[in-house]
Structure 1
Amino acid sequence: MCAGYTNLRLKVRNYLQTEREVEGVYTVDLVQLIEKMNLENCTPDIDIKRIKISQPDVNRPALQLAGFFDHFDSERVQIIGYVEHAYMQTVSLEKRNEIMSKLMDYKVPCIVFCRNIEVSDELIKIATEKEVPILRSAKTTSSFMAEVIRWLNVELAPRISIHGVLVDVYGEGILITGESGIGKSEAALELIKRGHRLVADDVVEIKKVSDETLIGTAPDITRHFIELRGIGIIDVKTLFGVESVKNTQGIDLVIKLEEWSRDKDYDRFGLDEQHIEILGNKVVCYSIPIRPGRNLAIICESAAVNHRQKKMGYNAAQELYQRVTNKIRNSTKK
């Protein structure tokens, strides 16, 4: 039983490692973009399943329609709005098709017409021959661009996988790290029973969506599962209900569990915050020594509330320091 369980863990971790190696450069399938943005496919004869998007930015090909292709980033999604469409109406049909044909020669991933702009049969024929999908959206150009860029920035964000547990505690994302067997999953289980939500156990995939924001999630294969030594794998969603799990969560705080040592001097006041760097972003980090009798769930809850309080402008450690300083100053004056 133990040998089989160990083999299962190794297979899962090897699978996740293989997935990360295969990804390398992160991409998004064009099919996903079409489904997410509710786009109409005007070129159904093209096999869109093979087309992938690797750039989070988009391009409105105004200069390209005018014939200037220097520094043209052909890997971006190309968006035709009202202005580009109005310009193309000022040139002859022959010239219009020539310009669009040249644009498609660069093998752009797709061309999206916003505002439900009508696409001519001639253009659809050219696009089908050159295997460049033409899509349509009912949204305005600006709103569509903003939504696509936001979504692609999340899907194509730099990412890493960390061994740990991610839990949503009072709305604060707490990443619990530490050596195997130190009690991360047990602490997460107690937090779940106290009404908080599990995001990921064992492997946490972290994406950097901005210079200030890290988003954590679980790999699809291990989502909603938690590992407890001596018991095995349990399905948190099935046992505790859908309110006990969450798919994604911003990472606000890192709690590092470590074995208690007599020789180490632990911070008891918290005047100077420690940080850990993840994908270039600094995150507040607390090192919690583990000893028998310490309730890790309550510690995590207190850390989450205290961190939120600091973000709102109140620091208990600074308040105590100020009181002691004032008391000493008043005593000295007397």
Structure 2
Amino acid sequence: MDKPFTVLDLLDMDLKGHNALNLRCLAGRKGLNRTISVPDINRPGLELSGFYDSFDCDRVQLFGHGETAYLLKLKKEKKSSSIEKLFSYNIPCVVFTHSLEPDEFFLEIAEKNGCAVLQTSLESSEFSMRLLRVFSNIFAPKKTLHGVLVEVYGIGILLMGHSGVGKSECALELVERGHRLVADDIVQIRCVNGNSVLGQGANTFISHHMEIRGLGIINVSQLYGVGSIREQKEVQLIIKLEEWDQNKIYDRIGTDQTSTDLLGVKVPTIEIPVRPGRNLPIIIEAAAMNERLKAMGYNSARDFNQNILKWIESGEAQTTYYGSDDSY
């Protein structure tokens, strides 16, 4: 993360639909600048009962029906020490689910200790899932790359190569053929769940604009419609475009499985040499379909090798090369 993520940042997040947290602040606005450093949740049932050993005080504290009912019990018994001790720790914030509201005494202690008390209309389980999903995006390792990210036949392909090799022109042709652009020039990637890499434009305002040398800046969504773009996509294949080198030996069968490490995730990688006359969009489409076949368990290169070995073992290869007439 470039800067600390605060409770105010959480409150101000513009999330829509099934991602919305529906949060509002009930008290303790002084604590909105507190930092959320641990992307997890704690339900302080044991702590309210007086057991503070191994208290995860650096997590967001979640109060559901059970915790709120226990607060009412403490109020009737006039036991406030557990609540005061809870707020003596530097907890990031407190969230009440189900639109539950704490009593005035709880809010007064929170206000006195400068801790924000938030409320959501969501159920505890649903809010927990949404909040953890938000945290997985915010706290995920990130980096930016120079390249173009496109979606071809459902496969997220990151086009990489030296400036001027033709990445943007190739992506434009793919969009023309019905595929989708995710980001051009600067791609921000982040590792999610430790096993997948999501890519999107580093700047959401310009990510769907494209620079074409000799033409200038174009807006892909305006030219080709909103169906030609996508906000983010998992990077499932890296294609490195490079100028054709006569002295370099390129893989002609596809048995060499190479990969690139992106934030600790191995992403399959292929190199495609660029030279006049090569139809790169068609080659990239074939690469995307081949990657889908691999995901389904079929490997064309491996199957080709196995068929060749069977052909050699059957003896037909000798007949083909030498023939039945060995007088020559």
Q: TM-score range by the shorter chain?
A: 0.7 to 0.9
Counterparts of 1:232-247 in structure 2 under 5 Å? Answer: 232-247=216-231
TM-score, length basis structure 2: 0.87
Q: Secondary structure at the match of 2:151?
A: strand
- Indicate conservation of the 8 Å contact 2:6/2:33, yes or no: no
- Decide whether the 8 Å contact of 2:6 with 2:34 is kept in 1: no
* Deviation digits for residues 120-167 of structure 1 (CA, Å, limit 9, x no counterpart): 122222222322221222333222212211221112211110111100
1:289 to 273, 277, 280: 273
**Aligned mates of 2:4, 2:289 — CA distance in 1:** 38
Contact 2:180–2:227 at 8 Å: present in 1 too?
A: yes
Write the distance in 2 (CA, Å) between the matches of 1:186 and 1:26: 38
Q: Alignment RMSD, CA only?
A: 2.4
Q: Pick closer, same or farther for the CA change 1:24–1:40 going to 2, 3 Å.
A: closer
State how 1:155-194 maps to structure 2 within 5 Å: 155-194=138-177
Per mean C-alpha deviation after superposition, the further-off stretch among 229-238 and 266-275 is 229-238
Q: Do the aligned partners of 1:30 and 1:49 also contact (CA within 8 Å) in 2? A: no
Select 1:252's aligned residue among 219, 236, 257.
236
Q: Deviations over 1:35-58 (max 9, x none)?
A: 630123322x72576344332211
Q: 1:101 aligns with which of 84, 106, 109?
A: 84
1:138 to 115, 121, 137: 121
Residue 87 of structure 1 and its aligned partner are, at CA, apart by: 3.2
User: Which one of 32, 47, 51 corresponds to residue 12 of structure 2?
Assistant: 32
Of 281-290 and 122-131, the range deviating more from structure 2: 122-131
The CA distance in 1 between the partners of 2:229 and 2:79, in whole Å, is 53
- Check the 8 A contact 2:22/2:122 in 1, yes or no: no
Larger Rg: 2
- CA deviations on 1:167-189 (whole Å, 9 max, x unpaired) are 01111100001111111111111
Q: What residue number does 1:86 align with? A: 69
Alignment-mate amino acid for residue 297 of structure 2: G
In 1, the alpha carbon distance for the partners of 2:70 and 2:262 equals 46
1:282 and 1:251 map into 2 onto residues whose CA distance is 10
> Equivalents in 2 of 1:182, 1:32: separation in Å?
41
Which residue among 306, 311, 328 is the counterpart of 1:322? 306
Q: Sort the Cα spacing of 1:179 and 1:26 in 2 relative to 1 into closer, same or farther, 3 A.
A: farther
Is contact 2:41-2:61 (8 Å) kept?
yes
Amino acid at match of 1:253: L
* Alignment check: 8 A CA contact 2:98 2:122 kept: yes
Q: For residues 207-286 of structure 1, what are the structure 2 equivalents within 5 Å?
A: 207-220=190-203, 221-286=205-270
With 245-254 and 116-125 compared, the bigger mean Cα shift is at 116-125
1:311 aligns with 2:291: no
Tell me the SS of whatever aligns to 1:256.
strand
Structure 2 segments unaligned to the other structure (5+ residues): 320-328
CA shift in 2, pair 1:31/1:91, >3 Å: closer
| 2:94 matched residue in structure 1 | 111
Please give the secondary structure, in 2, of the residue aligned with 1:53: coil
TM-score scaled to structure 1, two decimals? 0.86
Identical-pair percentage: 42
Distance 2:189 2:3 in 1: 15
2: distance between equivalents of 1:115 and 1:96?
25
1:216 deviates by 0.4
Which deviates more from structure 2 when the two are superposed, residues 173-182 or residues 104-113?
104-113
Q: 1:284 to 1:34 in 2, by over 3 A?
A: closer
Residues 59-83 of structure 1, C-alpha deviations (whole Å, 9 max, x = no match): 1122322333344333321101223
* Residue in 2 that maps onto 1:196: 179
Task: State the distance in 2 between where 1:108 and 1:37 align.
Answer: 20
Contact 2:32 2:116 in 1 (8 A): no
Question: 1:250 is aligned with what amino acid?
Answer: E
Report if aligned partners of 2:157, 2:235 keep a CA contact under 8 Å in 1: yes
Kindly provide the amino acid, as one letter, of the partner of residue 31 in structure 1. Answer: L
**Equivalent residue for 2:326?**
none
Which secondary structure state, in structure 2, belongs to the residue aligned with residue 237 of structure 1?
helix
Q: How many residues align?
A: 312
Give yes or no for contact 1:30–1:51 (8 Å, CA) kept in 2.
no
- Counterpart CA distance in 2 for 1:48 and 1:65 is 21
**Deviates most, 118-127 or 201-210:** 118-127
Within 1, Cα distance between the matches of 2:4 and 2:273?
Answer: 38
Task: Give the partner amino acid of 1:134.
Answer: V
Paired residue type of 1:298: I
